[in-house]
Amino acid sequence: MDYSIKNEYLKVTVTTYGAQLKSVIRKCDGVEHMWQADPAVWGFHAPILFPHAGKVVDGVIEAKGQTFQAPQHGFVRLMEHDFVDQTGDTIVLEICSSPETLEKFPYEFRLVSTFTLEGDTVHHTLTVENLDTEQMPFGIGYHPGFAVPFDDKHVATDYELRFSEMESPICINNQPHGLMHGNIYYLGSNIQAIPLDERLFANDSHCMVNLRSQTLGLYERDTGRGVVCDISEFPYTLIWSKPGMPKFVCIEPWYSLPSPENGSRKWDEKPAAAILNPGEAWSCTMSTSFVR
């Protein structure tokens, strides 16, 4: 099911499948900025990564004396979320633990997605509540895909990823198996922009740490139009697309990382974004501005 909100700048549509930001259309020029989930390329718009981001050792977790299959990026991106409320500028969805989720993750929880439209900015707040009787560790992250080019007058090489500050991005290497192994590399030295080309994502994503920048945006170089993500509260920011010339670019602020290659399959030994006591809640927000 889809729900929409709009103001003088944007029309925003959210889908209950995965609680994804499905569409953001800028009213002044009619540009659709979200990737439209072509299944032949990548069949998502903007998945939520919970209860973990990335992969885990052997694709399983061990928790509460049981073993569970754990798909990459968790399971909530693959499930319907429930509608909670809608006002003039806000849509609220949720997913709560159920017999279905307890077969995948043995904790009682509530995950609330609140989408708020403010001027040319969309705020997506995720709130995790521990409804269990035990402590609940979890990981979390965002994975929105932004379409390029913005119109038929441009091609992908007319765009660049631009930091708000000069950077020498340090990246945590998780290749070839998608798990951490301690190696790092630099994506560039003393740069403020990364041009899009067919080589940038040849080896999958880049996971950047210790960035100084408050924002990372996808900009059209000749016009200044852009999609600008506030990454200031997140310890990790990834960029990703399929190999070859990008048809979309994901800017992914994460609060946690994939498991180490030689790490434990035990859930309570995996590095977490947060560990909630029973009854506690935790929130984070990704804010994305659609500028011109």
Per-residue pLDDT at 128: 98
Domain ranges of the chain: 2-291
Report the relative pairing of strands 206-209 and 145-147 from DSSP bridges.
unpaired
CA distance 254 to 183: 19
Mean pLDDT computed over every residue of the chain? 96
pTM: 0.96
- With 0-12 CB in 10 A as exposed, 13-18 as middle and 19+ as buried, what is 187? middle
pLDDT tens digits for range 170-215: 999 988 888 888 899 999 999 999 999 999 999 999 999 999 999 9
CB atoms within 10 A of CB 67: 11
Residues 70, 41 contacting (CB under 8 angstroms):
no
In degrees rounded to 5, what are phi and psi of residue 6? -155, 160
Residues 152, 291 contacting (CB under 8 angstroms):
no
pLDDT tens digits for range 256-265: 999 999 889 9
CA distance 279 to 219: 42
With cut-offs at 50, 70 and 90, classify the pLDDT of residue 238: very high
Q: What is the mean pLDDT of residues 74-89?
A: 97
Per-residue pLDDT at 263: 87
176 vs 69 pLDDT, higher one? 69
SS3 of 184, please? strand
CA distance 272 to 63: 14
Per-residue pLDDT at 111: 98
pLDDT tens digits for range 128-171: 999 999 999 999 999 999 999 999 999 999 999 999 999 999 99
Q: Is the pLDDT of residue 13 over 90?
A: yes
Per-residue pLDDT at 178: 87
Q: Which CATH number is correct for 2-291, 3.30.450.40, 2.70.98.10, 2.40.30.10, 3.30.720.210? A: 2.70.98.10
